[in-house]
Amino acid sequence: MKATDFIMAAGSILAGIKTLADGFGEIAEATGRVNFKPEANGNAPVATSHHVGRDIKERIHHIKDMTQKGMRSPVVRAFAVRVLSSRCARCEGCKKLNVVTDIAKHINPRPGLVRGIVQGNEWVCGNCNTMNAIGKTTWCVPEKNWRSECEAIFEAVRSHIRYTRDIEGIDTYQHPVRTLEWGGGDCDDYTIVLASMLKSVGYPVKARTMEQRRTPNGQRVGQWGHILLIVGVPPQKPGGWLPLDASVDKPAGWYPPKQMIYRTQDFDL
């Protein structure tokens, strides 16, 4: 399977151009880096500051370092596992599939699912308010359905983490634990937290950097202005790489339009 098999149709691509354009330039604007990492006691973060300039390889080095730390964090793995271990049941009334286990109060159901509210030995359908007996449930994400696992983690990140710009003039790379705790970050932070979560449950990932074209005439801007994550599916021997760009309001698999990209470069994380 080719990577392009995961890219959505052009009709949905055009709607995301403006949103994506707002995110371009985040990498190249900065002249320094602030790295927030959690203290051992989980209190206010300790921050370290490094001058980075415009060297994309040095920036990737820091992103990789944060990802390697994040994938080993019990907090990050717990978040990912709780997303994948959620359980669903179908409403006896409207037949809608509901999430009926409390995977995490801040995680919204995946697209197409609604959240049922458990009340003692019954649960209320989030679609039609029908009372249902607690009975047999199924995994919301079927076991070994690799793409569905990636999509579920992506949607959980999208629902929990709001796009938030960095400190003025400083490219701020947060430890993924802090990104999950604070609920905000930019394309760098999305890449780090998604990479950490996916690697913590066994997926190979790469950071894809993009050099932008100026639209609509395609003139080259000449800077590495955006970053997103691509994940290998299936994880054991990838037949394709699924794009995950949480910085835009688009589903897993969405990819920036060709007229916005001059070239790309991938880096193993």
% of the chain exceeding 90 in pLDDT = 47
Task: Determine contact, residues 5/232, Cβ cutoff 8 Å.
Answer: no
Query: b/e per residue, 105-134, with b = 16+ CB within 10 A?
Result: eebebbeebbbbeeeeeebbbbbeebebee
Taking alpha carbons only, the member of 204, 156, 202, 147 closest to residue 176 is 156
How large is the average pLDDT for residues 56-70? 90
Dihedral of alpha carbons 162, 167, 172, 178, sign:
negative
Q: How far apart are CA 235 and CA 14, in angstroms?
A: 30
Model-level pTM greater than 0.95? no
Residue 168's pLDDT band (boundaries 50, 70, 90)? confident
Q: How far apart are CA 58 and CA 227, in angstroms?
A: 14
Residue 30's pLDDT band (boundaries 50, 70, 90)? very low
Q: How far apart are CA 262 and CA 35, in angstroms?
A: 29
Residue 243's pLDDT band (boundaries 50, 70, 90)? very high
